[in-house]
Amino acid sequence: MMLLLALFSHYLSAAVPDGLKQLHTLAQGQSELLEAAQSREEQARERKDRARGTLFPQLTGRYSFTEIDPLPGEPSPFRRRNQYTVLVNLNQPLYRGDAISAFSFARMDIDLQKRLKEQQGLSLWMDVGDSYYNLWRSKIDLENIRQLRRFSEERVGELKERVRVGRSRKGELLQAQAQLATVEADLSQAENNVKGAEERIEFLAGSKIDPQFGALPVTKQTVSPLGEYLQKILNRPDIKARSQEVLMADKMVDVAKAGHQPTLDFNANAYFLRTGIVEDSRWDVGVNLSVPIFQGGSVVAQTREATERKREATLMLERLKREAQRDIKILWQNAQMVEKILEDLRAATERARATYEENKKDYRYGLVTSLDVLLALNEFISTKRRFENAIIDRELTTLQLNLAVGDMP
């Protein structure tokens, strides 16, 4: 009886998954995907600086040298065999519609990469949560099967003694031994499941660790009304990223349309050496105006393409919102259902335990067979495994529901 009470004592107190936070901290420092997301954000900042650079003045030093076939006639500045120029050129864009739009686009891209990095962080939490609770589930299941093996070994040992003294049939012993062999096979499978779960943990953490688990939590989880979760959808980083993509697609339409607009530049040259009739002139200034007249329809095609990309981005945003609503509804329903399942399984486990205890007593008085005891034992351990798995399901579902609305632990 004391042993059976010990089987339940490990979930009589609430547990705080400190091991989950520990694993996430290690995974955060190890994740190449987070580092890559950070790198993409830095690349976006550099693209913004590059786009801004097209709006700033450009200062260029130039040197040119040309040697020509000597011309007949008297020497003059027009007949120089050697022509050369040394100058510094200043070019200041005064108006370029595409450059302004491109700079705005680059600034928006930084916000997009930030949202994508946040989404990567959320995905990491999902991976960590799944792996953590999967290992916890596997270890609990392994312990339950080990307990079943101990009980089965006790039954086999007891039946051997009863067969020896003639109080039980050999067939009952064979049944118990067959039960033990089945449990041994289940035990090997459970041990393999634990190893697989530990490998996933080691991959996330970057090293072999043994996360803390503690006691199974039995405190009922509080689930808010569905409407409150649905209202938080717009806070999800992936939806924010999609919304940003729509804005960027709209800006790309402006970039494409800018191909119809003129460009205006200011130019200034300072000469150090030059030849020809203007060799004594040391500077000149001017403006260059370029007005597109006909470009073969390329700008119109680019504008239409950008408009379709905006439409595509808008459709993908609406699709993602609907998928988010679907996922949240399913998770919310699962969270509601798992509490009811837990209550039923808790009662079923207690009754299965009591049935097993009564069958053990009745067996000593010859009221039931050894098969009845084995069936009661299997039912007890099976129900207990389902109950404890349901507790893990509740914890994981609650975490997934919070992550589905963008709330990180």
Concatenating the DSSP letter of every residue in 164-189 gives: HTTSS-HHHHHHHHHHHHHHHHHHHH
- From 104, 118, 120, select the one nearest 249 (Cα to Cα): 104
**C-alpha distance from residue 131 to each of 123, 136, 214 (Å):** 12, 9, 16
Q: Tens digit of pLDDT per residue, the chain (409 long)?
A: 444 444 443 443 333 378 999 999 999 999 999 999 999 999 999 999 999 998 999 999 999 998 877 767 676 666 677 888 999 999 999 998 888 888 999 999 999 999 999 999 999 999 999 999 999 999 999 999 999 999 889 888 888 888 888 877 888 888 888 888 999 999 999 999 999 999 999 999 999 998 888 888 877 777 889 999 999 999 899 999 999 999 999 999 999 998 889 999 999 999 999 888 888 899 999 999 999 998 888 999 999 999 999 999 999 999 999 999 999 999 999 999 998 899 999 999 999 999 999 998 887 877 888 788 888 989 999 999 999 999 999 999 999 999 999 988 7
**β-strand partners of 286:** 267
**C-alpha distance from residue 395 to each of 123, 158, 267 (Å):** 17, 40, 68
Q: For 116, how many CA atoms within 13 A lie in the half-sphere containing its CB? A: 19
- From 321, 315, 389, 309, select the one nearest 349 (Cα to Cα): 389
Global confidence as pTM: 0.83
Q: What angle do helix axes 170-205 and 370-404 make, rounded to 10 degrees?
A: 20
Give per-residue burial for 268-304: e unless 16+ CB within 10 Å, then b. Answer: ebebeebeeeeeeeeeeeeeeeeeeeeeeeebeebbe
pLDDT of residue 173: 84
CA dist 192 and 11 (Å) reads: 24
Which two tokens mark 74?
């008297």
DSSP string over 109-134: HHHHHHHHHHHHHHHHHHHHHHHHHH
CA dist 351 and 124 (Å) reads: 41
pLDDT of residue 69: 75
CA dist 84 and 78 (Å) reads: 13
Q: Which helix (H) or strand (E) holds 407?
A: none
**C-alpha distance from residue 84 to each of 60, 75, 274 (Å):** 17, 17, 6
Q: DSSP secondary-structure letter at 70?
A: P
State residue 94 phi and psi, 5-degree precision: -95, -40
**β-strand partners of 264:** 95, 289
pLDDT of residue 76: 66
Which two tokens mark 198?
């530990």
Decide if 105 contacts 54 (C-beta within 8 A). no
CA dist 358 and 380 (Å) reads: 12
pLDDT of residue 78: 64
Give per-residue burial for 15-28: e unless 16+ CB within 10 Å, then b. Answer: bebebbebbbebbe
pLDDT of residue 11: 40
- From 156, 175, 162, 181, select the one nearest 375 (Cα to Cα): 175
Decide if 377 contacts 356 (C-beta within 8 A). yes
Which residue is listed with tokens 């943990």? 201
Look at the domain 2-56+115-261+314-404 and name its fold.
Answer: Outer membrane efflux proteins (OEP) (1.20.1600)
Residue ranges covered by each domain of the chain: 2-56+115-261+314-404
Decide if 397 contacts 335 (C-beta within 8 A). yes
pLDDT of residue 275: 85
pLDDT of residue 364: 80
Which residue is listed with tokens 């686009």? 105
